[in-house]
């Protein structure tokens, strides 16, 4: 049977506890987006799971429920920041901004992955495959994914021809064809090899 996230990790830590996840480390275009979520233990939306295991419609519905019941902050690091400090540091920056932007300062953070961003305002634990283990991280993964997907759809209206409304900036065939035909936009990550190659 497939594992679904639960609240066990949260129960073992100091409260309030937030889950943190990011989306957009791999794409060739657009920002990296992180979300920090403090769930209300008495009002957790049903069906929270790793955002990649949910349909777009289910993610949208859960996003609305999370925003209505939890304490949430969403933050990004821009393409310019990604190019200046590299994608890992930019991911850490987005996560730190998300935690610092919460209306309630958490006492503990559960972070998806195997690394803890430096400079967080609370203690933290990295949780490998955390979006499949922790409800708070699963909620953060949904919020971050829906937010970034919406942004890439908006950007695709301004910069059509790259397929961002479906590939979300990842290096798909449609994206590669768009680059070959239309060139590089201000939303492309010039430090990423395929884009760097085109410019040099």
Pairing of strands 71-77, 108-112: unpaired
Per-residue pLDDT tens listing for the chain (200 residues): 467 999 999 999 999 999 999 999 999 999 999 999 999 999 999 999 999 999 999 999 999 999 999 999 999 999 999 999 999 999 999 999 999 999 999 999 999 999 999 999 999 999 999 999 999 999 999 999 999 999 999 999 999 999 999 999 999 999 999 999 999 999 999 999 989 988 87
CA–CA dist 78, 61 (Å, integer): 27
d(CA 69, CA 56): 20
Sketch the domain layout of the chain as residue ranges. Answer: 8-150
For residues 97 and 91, give the distance between their C-alpha atoms in angstroms, rounded to a whole number: 10
Under 8 Å CB-to-CB from 14, ≥6 apart: which residues?
107, 108, 123
Instruction: Decide yes or no: CATH 1.10.357.10 for domain 8-150.
Output: no
- Model pTM score: 0.96
């Amino acid at each position: 049977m497939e594992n679904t996230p639960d609240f066990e990790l949260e129960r073992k830590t100091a409260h309030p506890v937030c889950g943190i996840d990011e989306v957009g480390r791999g794409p060739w275009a657009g920002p990296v987006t992180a979300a920090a979520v403090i769930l209300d233990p008495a009002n957790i939306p049903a069906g929270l799971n790793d955002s990649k295991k949910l349909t777009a419609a289910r993610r949208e519905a859960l996003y609305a429920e999370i925003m209505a019941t939890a304490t949430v902050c969403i933050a990004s690091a821009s393409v310019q920041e990604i190019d200046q400090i590299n994608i890992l540091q930019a991911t850490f920056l987005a996560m730190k901004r998300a935690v610092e932007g919460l209306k309630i300062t958490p006492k503990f953070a559960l972070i998806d992955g195997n690394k803890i961003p430096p400079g967080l305002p609370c203690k933290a634990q990295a949780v490998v495959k955390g979006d499949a283990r922790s409800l708070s991280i699963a909620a953060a993964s949904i919020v971050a994914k829906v937010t970034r997907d919406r942004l890439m759809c908006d950007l695709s209206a301004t910069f059509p021809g790259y397929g961002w409304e479906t590939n979300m900036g990842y290096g798909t065939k449609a994206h590669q064809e768009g680059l070959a035909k239309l060139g590089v936009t201000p939303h492309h990550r010039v430090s990423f090899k395929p884009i760097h190659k085109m410019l040099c």
